[in-house]
Amino acid sequence: QKEVEQNSGPLSVPEGAIASLNCTYSDRGSQSFFWYRQYSGKSPELIMSIYSNGDKEDGRFTAQLNKASQYVSLLIRDSQPSDSATYLCAVKAETSYGKLTFGQGTILTVHP
């Protein structure tokens, strides 16, 4: 079993729709959860972080965390073609001093 699992996609949504990206993790000691966005050939860029159960909103992005279910998601509202990228879920264990465990990433395509 992978430590952090994501559907690799590709996930295709029309412009203006809500894109829903999901991630599950196996280590119950995980404390911090992150979503990175990576455009092709570019560096991963942090877009959301979440540490406690519930929802966290930032503009068009909402991260959701459920530690009991070991599940974290990212919702992108009003999706734009510029949101087309690979979205990486990353997890940090409580004992980890900065080491992140990444999922394989979900490729998102937003078509006009």
Partner 1 sequence: EAGVTQFPSHSVIEKGQTVTLRCDPISGHDNLYWYRRVMGKEIKFLLHFVKESKQDESGMPNNRFLAERTGGTYSTLKVQPAELEDSGVYFCASSLSFRQGDFTGELFFGEGSRLTVL
Binding site for partner 1 (CB under 8 A): 2, 4, 32, 34, 36, 41-46, 49, 88, 90, 92, 97-105
Residues 6+ apart with CB under 8 A from 66: 53, 72
- At its nearest, how many Å lie between partner 1 and the CB of residue 16? 30
Q: How far apart are CA 81 and CA 75, in angstroms?
A: 15
Q: Which residue lies nearer to partner 1 by CB, 63 or 79?
A: 63
Q: Which is nearer to partner 1, 82 or 99 (CB)?
A: 99
Rounded to an integer, what distance in angstroms lies between the CA atom of residue 56 and that of residue 44? Answer: 20
Q: Which residues contact 17 (CB under 8 A, 6 or more apart)?
A: 79, 110
Minimum CB separation of residue 101 from partner 1 in Å reads 7
Shortest Å, Cβ 102 to partner 1: 4
